[in-house]
Amino acid sequence: MQIETIATRPIDGQKPGTSGLRKRVSVFMEPHFLENYVQAVWQGIGGAKGATLVLGGDGRYFNDRAAQVVLRMAAAEGVTKVIVGQNAILSTPAASHLIRSRKATGGIILSASHNPGGPEGDFGLKYNGSNGGPAPESVTEKIFAATKTISEYRILSAHDVDLSAIGTHRMGEMEVEVVDPVTDYAMLMESLFDFDAIAKMFAGGFTMVFDAMHAVTGPYAKAIFEDRLGAAPGSVLNAVPLPDFGGGHPDPNPIWAKDLMDRMMGPHAPDFGAASDGDGDRNMILGRGIYVTPSDSLAALAANATLAPAYKGGLKGLARSMPTSGAVDRVAEKLGLDCYETPTGWKFFGNLLDAGRITICGEESAGTSSDHVREKDGLWAVLLWLNILAEKKQPVAELMADHWKSYGRNYYTRHDYEEVETAIADAMVDEIRGRLDDLPGSAAGPLTVEAADEFAYHDPVDGSVAEQQGLRFQLSGGGRVVIRLSGTGTVGATVRVYLERLETDPAKLDADPQEALAPIIEAAEALTGLKARTGRTGPDVIT
């Protein structure tokens, strides 16, 4: 075995987004692309010699080959040890937990989360720090800078490690420990929740379905829900992880999990339904006849979290991303807790969690979690829901009806315009940004703009500032519109339009959200002109 030094040159397009670097699989497979970026990661974190790293991914196409490249480059870098999930598979929250529990230097997560997989799909790589969370912007900026100056990378000439064999292996001077991807995570979940109470609920006839979407959570869900908690065999659907996610789109929302939606809205629906995404960090929650939006789910979990053993002592605080609805703010106010508003991107919750300021946090994009890890955690959210239902002994629809009576209902929806030409999307944002000061007092469809600004975040822990985090508009009648460009796509730009209105009239809490938000939707189109700009009749996805 010997270390080879390979001459290379910078490759355009290697700027990491809110969740690392995501591109088409074909791009990652181009000569030097993956290797350049991995070498830039080593440089961006100040070198990895002597480090202990965690490595794993969601099992999508190219995951197995990329893992071997990362291992050979880690060995060449002088990494002491890599802890890798069997077959290079680890859910993102499980990876975060391993980093924290093993006191690792950090970890490499191979995933494009909820993006499609397969040879024509997407791939991604991100670095998580020693706290188990995504690298902060101070580190990702250094990684990006390194991609623009790289001239060589180092890689060990070696045979592949057998990642199917649990145990300790060697790659040059580096130790490679292959671990079962489920065991440590399942033990963590059992320490947080009352598994006996949940199991008793299942034994009493409670039924559920969980759609793993042929993604990474299949083995975790079967081990926890069916084997440990006693859910009926077959409760976990699409449980086998596949490189192309079975041809599906592993995004847990009413559009891409339509079969689950149809089942839960049908005449013979089980009591509870849920789904998770490609790498296991997102969740979708349903009850018989009801879809719970991620914003409402965050609020309901926060309001009832103390029913679970891990949170019986009370919560330290709550946080949400700016585009997420204000439902959790109302819970925080009633509980006397601080509630922080951050930019989109889980890394912004990291400082608050590490500083002990918050216990539970979440984003409207189906991510919810607590201080047990430093990532979104789909199965954690599902288990907290099950623990709450076991204690309250009421169906999901009734629980949410009670919640809205207590706190009011934040009607909420998100309209996505996908793969918009980047130049068109940027021009729209720049044009609106240029007239923010003039918008207050002006008409927006049937409503009036009361306030308009661009969100900037001043981190209360380290004082850092994140600017240009989304355009915000407060409308007459208590409505809100937020516009931002997503950083999770790989082609063009995804324009996300978030629409919200608070309703406190008890007689108006059961309307269809799209109907309740019709004036807000009309106002948003008047503000953006998105249909005319894109030539489309409406959004590609409504959630």
At residue 38, the 3 state secondary structure works out as: helix
- Counting Cα atoms < 13 Å in the Cβ hemisphere of 55 gives 29
Q: Give all strands (DSSP E) within 315-404, no chain letters.
A: 318-321, 339-342, 360-363, 367-370
How many helices and strands, by DSSP H and E, does the chain display?
18, 27
Chain-centroid distance, C-alpha 158? 35
- From residue 493, give the alpha-carbon distance in Å to each of 398, 416, 431: 39, 10, 16
- From residue 271, give the alpha-carbon distance in Å to each of 254, 303, 397: 17, 21, 10
CB proximity list for 119: less than 8 A, separation 6 or greater:
25, 26, 61, 244
DSSP state letter for 159: P
Tell me the residue length of the chain: 543
At residue 294, the 3 state secondary structure works out as: helix
Cα–Cα distance measured from residue 325 to residue 337, given in angstroms and rounded to the nearest whole number: 17
- Phi/psi at 286 (nearest 5 deg)? -140, 150
H-run or E-run covering 348: helix 347-354
- Residue 339's DSSP bridge partners are 318
Cα–Cα distance measured from residue 330 to residue 299, given in angstroms and rounded to the nearest whole number: 8
The 3-class secondary structure across 195-257, one letter per residue, is HHHHHHHHHCCCCEEEECCCCCHHHHHHHHHHHHCCCCCCCEECCCCCCCHHHCCCCCCCCCC
State the catalytic residue, choosing from 111, 113, 295, 297. 113
Q: Which of 252, 255, 213 is nearest to 236 (CA)?
A: 213
Cα–Cα distance measured from residue 450 to residue 514, given in angstroms and rounded to the nearest whole number: 22
113 is catalytic: yes
Q: Counting Cβ atoms within 10 Å, is residue 8 exposed (0-12), middle (13-18) or buried (19+)?
A: middle
Reading across the β-sheet that carries 272-276, which strands appear in turn? 236-237, 208-211, 272-276, 283-287, 290-292
Cα–Cα distance measured from residue 165 to residue 62, given in angstroms and rounded to the nearest whole number: 19
Cα–Cα distance measured from residue 195 to residue 203, given in angstroms and rounded to the nearest whole number: 12
Q: Which of 129, 124, 155 is nearest to 140 (CA)?
A: 129
Amino acid (1-letter code) at residue 37: Y
User: Which residues have a catalytic role annotated?
Assistant: 113
